[in-house]
Amino acid sequence: MTTDTLGNSNAGAAMGRSIPRVEARAKVTGRAEYVHNLRLPGMLYGRIHRSTVAHARITGVDVSAAQAMPGVYAVYTAADIRKLIPEPYFGPAFHDQPILAIDKVHYVGEPVALVLAADPHVADAAAQQIVVEYEELPAVFDEVEAMTSKAVVHEVLKPAGTFPDLKHLKDKRDTNVALDFHLRRGDVQQAFADADHVFEHTFRTQQVLHLPLEPFVTVADPAPNQLVIHTASQSPSFVRIEIARLLGWPETRVRVKVPYLGGGFGAKLYIKLEALTAAAALIAGRPVKIALTMEEQFYTLTKHATTLRIKSGVTRDGKITARECEVWWNGGAYADIGPRITQKSGFTAAGPYDIDHVTIDSYSLYTNLTPAGALRGFGIPQLVWAYESHTDMIAKALKMDPLAIRRINILREGRPQATGTLMRDAGIEPVLERLAERMTWEKKYDRGSGTMRRGRGIAIGFKASISPTTSMAIVNISADGSCIVYCSTVDMGQGSDTAMAQFAAEALGIPVERVSVVHPDTDVTPYDMATLGSRSTYHMGHAVKNAAEDARDKLLALAAEVGLSAETTPIPDIFRKKYGMQAGNIIGIGSFIPPYTPPEPGTGLTTDATPFWMIGATGAEVEVDTETGEFKVTRLVNLVDVGRPVNPAIVETQISGATIMQLGFTLSERMEFDAGQVTNASLADYKIPGIRDVPPVMENEAVDMVQKTGPFGAKGVGESGTFGVSPAIASAIDDAVGVRLTSLPLTAEAVYRGLRANAGKPLQD
Amino acid sequence: MTTDTLGNSNAGAAMGRSIPRVEARAKVTGRAEYVHNLRLPGMLYGRIHRSTVAHARITGVDVSAAQAMPGVYAVYTAADIRKLIPEPYFGPAFHDQPILAIDKVHYVGEPVALVLAADPHVADAAAQQIVVEYEELPAVFDEVEAMTSKAVVHEVLKPAGTFPDLKHLKDKRDTNVALDFHLRRGDVQQAFADADHVFEHTFRTQQVLHLPLEPFVTVADPAPNQLVIHTASQSPSFVRIEIARLLGWPETRVRVKVPYLGGGFGAKLYIKLEALTAAAALIAGRPVKIALTMEEQFYTLTKHATTLRIKSGVTRDGKITARECEVWWNGGAYADIGPRITQKSGFTAAGPYDIDHVTIDSYSLYTNLTPAGALRGFGIPQLVWAYESHTDMIAKALKMDPLAIRRINILREGRPQATGTLMRDAGIEPVLERLAERMTWEKKYDRGSGTMRRGRGIAIGFKASISPTTSMAIVNISADGSCIVYCSTVDMGQGSDTAMAQFAAEALGIPVERVSVVHPDTDVTPYDMATLGSRSTYHMGHAVKNAAEDARDKLLALAAEVGLSAETTPIPDIFRKKYGMQAGNIIGIGSFIPPYTPPEPGTGLTTDATPFWMIGATGAEVEVDTETGEFKVTRLVNLVDVGRPVNPAIVETQISGATIMQLGFTLSERMEFDAGQVTNASLADYKIPGIRDVPPVMENEAVDMVQKTGPFGAKGVGESGTFGVSPAIASAIDDAVGVRLTSLPLTAEAVYRGLRANAGKPLQD
């Protein structure tokens, strides 16, 4: 059905068109719905009293002053929650996180009590009147120390059993290691012995935040037959299942509705405020809203700080023969999705290189810091930071060109990746070559002179997608030929509503303007694992395409049944012939479960690690002041393989958005801690990129590729822009002034220290 | 799958159980949602200025005083509407009704202008400041006069083309006849000539109102990409299609949401306030609410007043050989669904009797009164009133017992009804016999003495269901085995949500408590023609059953795919085996289009008039005071054939509710008119039954039957209780004191006049 069955000339070519986002008008007119705007009759506001210590036994909670304040409706502690939910622990990998702290606190900022009041200011004031007595316990903050520390964060851990690929999680006792992933390929030690050179470096990344401009917010409404949860969540299906599990209810008695999100970036996955808000609403018998402040985001979820050690065996002409990687993930006080990040990113920790002998050891660790979760890239930016810095350090040692060493080692189409999975539709080489071209890498480069030096760097990374997961969609065609797409993908700014409309229009051969997409609502839209890991375009795209094709097949069958040609008859005429009037619907159903083979226990090998590969590369140019160490990024070239772009304009904003976000993590963002207490928990003290921090030249390009297994050749793009930014800039600095930084963020002070050290005049701390 | 796949002991037997209504808790706790409770940010209230004359040209509209009132946001007339909608005429049979009066008004109370204000009291006051100048035209109010009157209500009429069975509607000019239905069976004139006796009587029914305790109300919200209409409607799918047609938009740009209704009874079908509210909201660019007062219901929709002439040829032993029926339906100023009532009820106007020679002529007429529409029974109570009174008048003339004459003539199973359609699963005889039994009809009856006389009467009626129509449903099973039913059937108090949950549970073999039913929402629930004519249990019941069976089949297939037995494996385990975790959905789709053959033009004959028959009978006992004519109904026995009851407790309330409603139409309700002006437009002056008006003995029974073609043997019940009430009471009065009344309502004054006339001392008017 490639011809237009509605007599409309702009049908068909929905794929690849930069149509405006479907929500553009709602957003610019201020009419787009967000949970923060929602008020329900009789609604109470909840404010959280949080732990002031990092690790302690709770010896007393005095809520009397708070309860006595005029206007306070109720104050709840864990004891109240447990009357409703005897085992109030949640989490996607382990049921480790209590709704409110039980007996112990595990990090500074952990929720200990909740105040409800009709006036949020009253609730706020009352929350400050709560007095908690603590008996402090030894705490651990560093991820490497946590491996062996006597300070154990959790004594016992119950696996959630959610992820079939993490079945080897067992009840854990007296360890801070939540999950350890090991990959063994070839014989690394022999290869090191045989190598001309062996290089080993250690890199670190810092704690950073997702910081969506819309902080966490949930409203729970205890309706008579159903608990309705309005929440800024990336995973409505998971929230429904998890809340139903906590309450012991059927899934369908919990309804989760998600309007637009003001950003997510992985923060709004799994359970955040939902369990606390739901429990409070059910106990109070009133709708409850909990909306965090910007500051409270610092106490809710971070990105994993990491320590990464890489050791490579290399021939004298630059061929990498063996690699050993160790990665320690600082998961904070609760595992959240950390174990899955540890495993999934473990697949690619050795980088996009063709290496015969590889070992990878990846550890998910508990510490007494804010819990860490998935943040745009699912651990990959940390890995790329390490392995691409390492690549350039080897090149420099061997006096090789950074492009040349990559050309020797790059993982080419059809070759096995470290897990053993073959590379298919993975544009690693094309993206690298296109980056060289755009950077005019092989032409002479002016490195400046005097106190102003220039340098350039390149970096490339790759990522496996999420699997196993399930996505489902429904496409409903009305009698006039317009249609609605039902899916639980959350449009959090990435433009998924628009993309899904384009997929459905393409499959049905109708104008995209006649396609509507409804918001996730577990009573309305079918199951989807979550909106994360750049999976929606590919996974949900397939489900929507399958649903639309199912609807198209039913439409063809209907046309045949009533003796009409679906190729030449407008859709409304087919319906009218069947139903005698403008009536009826055609309902198509689609689902998608990518093929997946879990890694073999012990070796970590699998022939089917991922349904598709994401590739991202960055070229950076910098100017460094040799007197002060101050530097600026003057040019960023960001290239990605997105297969065939669904909507080029949106793809471009995804690349630039990811790049700028990673720029913040590279140059300025860092949570500062003092005994586990965040000391810069505000946007005044924690610097995210503003418009003036964007490099004066920024070029974003989706390299001409097709993901043959993707829906209409497409694949995800939300994260690929983050991969290469940090190492490209670090290498550019090294290229300019010979200072190699191995810890993020890259600061003028660190460059200055490097310049002083190079000059034989190191600064004293 | 009759065994419980959830390990729950109460699965399976969902059908036939008197489970509490699913909305019971929401209603008794005041949490059930109604449109009247809905307020949106920035919402304006609309108040309507209405015509004060019955038929006139509008020569001027002065809105300046209203517009000048502080707080008035806007005043709109037809001119404003036409800027948005050039042809702003709506209606299910004809596009005859303007959103606001254009050039002419056609009845007292017709909307002429709309005032919008943030404060409804301001809007109300301003609406009264509008001055309209009229040039009055001759008017017609009586349905029989309208046949030949020179006062023509509409000069030209455009058929809507909505109903395929009314394709013979043509553009009409200079006639008040909107539709005429004719049935010709056998040779009535010859049979009259051959008959021993010929009887002819004429009967009348009055204008009455639906009067749901929730008056009409609509909120329209002009959201950025979609117009959202929250409305108390029985036909959300129709509202979407009709509003989209008026605006020239795709269906999916209009979203219609219907929460619970505080009664409908046929009033809230098709377009009522929706077009005006939607147009006002779009012009104003703000949400608009229009909520009518109780008084305004008198100016919105009535039940057809009718004149019915019946003539029968009868043998001396009581066999009816021929019948001629003429019915004039007073449709008021706009046709609404009148033409379809005229046709559908025309099928059965000759009554549930086996008569070889029948003519039926049924006329849908325009007059200058409030428009008339469908009201609980779709015209059947008016017909039963006439043909059952006529039956008893024949019996009395022949000195036969009312039961005996019915036994001779009753339409038995398998025999052709007047249209030629064979009677199948129609419990006419069983219901009649059960009525005789419960009334102990053949035992001696004490008729009292002195001034207090007793009498009894019986009556039986039947009705064809609606066809052709389409119903669609979706059943979605979650991974834990709970499920959701999606259908556009409106629960307006009749308990349809509960019934649909029972159908799905029965088909799936799961406990009914694990089934949820979502409210109609055209973005969520698939197409359904409307909730009317007792069709939902049968039509939507089939669609839900089909959807549940489709889901069940998919579940069986899924179980087989993963090597499990669906008979013995709990549903959650099947999902877990397939998806590796608690994930996924199984989505079943069902639709139902009953077989239907339209009546042959000319003869009105069809072998397939209806998918099922509804049967209702009433036995009444009265006490009459011979000095005053005052009487009271002392006992009502109401028997219906509902096939197999889905939920006996709800069936019982449907029978009693229908009976009491018809009791109001029989004894007290009548709209009084003076030159087209309603003179008793309030509940103080228009008397509906209260609890003290319910007869002291009322017995309601669903006779033991099975509708073989119905879903699990069920069929509709909402109207059957209305059929026999009026003629049974009238015959009981005649039985008691020998006064035969032929016009409704039956009043003490009429009885007194009859008593005086019988005594040879008639009252002068």
Distance CA B237, CA B239 (A): 5
Helices marked H in A139-219: 143-146, 188-194
Looking at residues A476-491, what average pLDDT do you find?
A: 97
Please report, as a single letter, which amino acid is at residue A754: G
Residues B476 and B493 placed together within one structural domain of the fold: yes
Report which DSSP code applies to A582: S
> Out of A26, A226, A523, whose CB is closest to B225?
A26
Annotated active-site residue in A274, A388, A719, A749: A719
Residues A488 and A561 placed together within one structural domain of the fold: yes
Give B376-419 pLDDT, tens digit per residue: 999 999 999 999 999 999 999 999 999 999 999 999 999 999 99
What's chain B's Rg over C-alpha atoms?
Answer: 27
Looking at residues A481-485, what average pLDDT do you find?
A: 96
Of B559, B574, B592, which closes a domain?
A: B592
Cβ–Cβ of B252/A472 closer than 8 Å? no
pLDDT at residue B251 tops 60: yes
Residues A623 and A692 placed together within one structural domain of the fold: yes
Say if A200 falls within a structural domain: no
pLDDT at residue B480 tops 80: yes
Distance CA A33, CA A45 (A): 19
Instruction: Report the gap between the CA of B640 and the closest CA in chain A (Å).
Output: 31
**Reduced DSSP (H G I as helix, E B as strand, rest coil) percent helix, strand, coil of chain B, to 5:** 30, 25, 45
Percent of chain A with pLDDT over 90: 92
Distance CA B335, CA B343 (A): 13
Q: Write out the DSSP string of A17-48.
A: --PPPTTHHHHHTT----GGG---TT-EEEEE
pLDDT at residue A465 tops 60: yes
Strands in A471-478's sheet, in edge-to-edge order, are A515-517, A483-487, A471-478, A585-592
Looking at residues B647-657, what average pLDDT do you find?
A: 97
What angle do the packed helices B236-247 and B274-284 form, to 10 degrees? 50
Cβ–Cβ of A527/B480 closer than 8 Å? no
Tell me what pLDDT residue A277 has. 98
pLDDT at residue B166 tops 90: no
Q: Which of B466, B573, B587 to mutate to test the interface with A (most CBs of A within 10 A)?
A: B587
pLDDT at residue B122 tops 60: yes
Tell me what pLDDT residue A307 has. 98
pLDDT at residue B1 tops 60: no
Residues A453 and A493 placed together within one structural domain of the fold: no
Nearest CA among A165, A277, A295 for reference residue A222:
A277
Which residue is closest to B577 within chain A, CA to CA?
Answer: A164
Instruction: Report the gap between the CA of A467 and the closest CA in chain B (Å).
Output: 11
Q: Which of B581, B592, B593 to mutate to test the interface with A (most CBs of A within 10 A)?
A: B581
B10 pLDDT band, cuts 50/70/90, is: very low
Distance CA A532, CA A323 (A): 30
Instruction: Report the gap between the CA of B362 and the closest CA in chain A (Å).
Output: 24
Distance CA B262, CA A612 (A): 54
Say if B184 falls within a structural domain: no
Cβ–Cβ of B470/A583 closer than 8 Å? yes
φ, ψ dihedrals at A6, nearest 5°: -115, 15
pLDDT at residue A625 tops 80: yes
Percent of chain A with pLDDT over 70: 98
Cβ–Cβ of B484/A523 closer than 8 Å? yes
CA-to-CA dists, residue B483 to A105, B500, B575, B646, angstroms: 39, 12, 13, 19
Cβ–Cβ of B252/A514 closer than 8 Å? yes
Cβ–Cβ of A470/B584 closer than 8 Å? yes
Mean pLDDT of chain B: 95
Residues A341 and A311 placed together within one structural domain of the fold: yes
Give A102-153 pLDDT, tens digit per residue: 999 999 999 999 999 999 999 999 999 999 999 999 999 999 999 999 999 9
pLDDT at residue A744 tops 90: yes
Looking at residues B631-660, what average pLDDT do you find?
A: 97
pLDDT at residue B197 tops 50: yes
* 3-class SS of residue B414: coil
Pair A251, A226: CB distance under 8 Å: no
Instruction: Report the gap between the CA of B123 and the closest CA in chain A (Å).
Output: 25
For residue B502 the two structure tokens come to 């029972």
Please report, as a single letter, which amino acid is at residue B739: V
Tell me what pLDDT residue A3 has. 37
Say if A473 falls within a structural domain: yes
Tell me what pLDDT residue A10 has. 42
> Out of B25, B468, B591, whose CB is closest to A225?
B25
pLDDT at residue B3 tops 50: no
Which residue is closest to A286 within chain B, CA to CA?
Answer: B31
Say if A427 falls within a structural domain: yes
Instruction: Report the gap between the CA of A570 and the closest CA in chain B (Å).
Output: 14
Of A533, A563, A592, which closes a domain?
A: A592
CATH number at residue A124: 3.90.1170.50
Cβ–Cβ of A516/B470 closer than 8 Å? no
Residues A317 and A252 placed together within one structural domain of the fold: no
Q: Which helix (H) or strand (E) holds A622?
A: strand A613-625
Distance CA A445, CA A433 (A): 18
Residues of B in Cβ contact (< 8 Å) with A163 = 580-581
Residues B459 and B405 placed together within one structural domain of the fold: yes
Give A332-386 pLDDT, tens digit per residue: 999 999 999 999 889 999 999 999 999 999 999 999 999 999 999 999 999 999 9
Cβ–Cβ of B472/A23 closer than 8 Å? no
Instruction: Report the gap between the CA of B620 and the closest CA in chain A (Å).
Output: 41
Nearest CA among B34, B215, B48, B221 for reference residue B120:
B48
Residues of B in Cβ contact (< 8 Å) with A481 = 250
Give A33-69 pLDDT, tens digit per residue: 999 999 999 999 999 999 999 999 999 999 999 999 9
Sign of the CA dihedral with A228 first, then A233, A236, and A242 last: negative
Pair B323, B417: CB distance under 8 Å: no
Strands in B315-429 per DSSP E: 320-330, 357-365, 372-373
For residue A117 the two structure tokens come to 């009041």
Say if A266 falls within a structural domain: yes
Say if B431 falls within a structural domain: yes
CATH number at residue A437: 3.30.365.10
Distance CA B227, CA B458 (A): 51
Residues of A in Cβ contact (< 8 Å) with B513 = 250
Helices marked H in A318-456: 338-346, 380-397, 402-409, 428-438
Pair B344, B464: CB distance under 8 Å: yes
Of A559, A592, A625, which closes a domain?
A: A592
Residues of B in Cβ contact (< 8 Å) with A244 = 480
Pair A238, A92: CB distance under 8 Å: yes
φ, ψ dihedrals at B178, nearest 5°: -80, -35
Distance CA B93, CA B356 (A): 32
Looking at residues A604-619, what average pLDDT do you find?
A: 95
Residues B658 and B511 placed together within one structural domain of the fold: no
Say if A287 falls within a structural domain: yes
Tell me what pLDDT residue B40 has. 93
B12 pLDDT band, cuts 50/70/90, is: low
* Total structural domains within chain A: 3
**Active-site residue flag, A623:** no
pLDDT at residue A7 tops 50: no
pLDDT at residue B543 tops 80: yes
Tell me what pLDDT residue B7 has. 37
Residues A515 and A576 placed together within one structural domain of the fold: yes
Cβ–Cβ of A479/B251 closer than 8 Å? yes
Cβ–Cβ of A480/B251 closer than 8 Å? yes
Pair A458, A464: CB distance under 8 Å: no
Give A558-591 pLDDT, tens digit per residue: 999 999 998 899 999 999 999 988 999 999 999 9
Annotated active-site residue in B23, B324, B388, B719: B719
Cβ–Cβ of A580/B250 closer than 8 Å? no
Residues B433 and B530 placed together within one structural domain of the fold: no
Residues A222 and A285 placed together within one structural domain of the fold: yes
Percent of chain B with pLDDT over 70: 98
Residues B567 and B645 placed together within one structural domain of the fold: no
Interface confidence, given as ipTM, is 0.90
Strand partners, A517: A485
Say if A179 falls within a structural domain: no
Q: Which of A31, A90, A518, A585 to mutate to test the interface with B (most CBs of B within 10 A)?
A: A585
Give A163-212 pLDDT, tens digit per residue: 877 777 777 788 999 999 999 999 999 999 999 999 999 999 999 999 99
Range of the structural domain that residue A491 is part of = 24-32+469-592
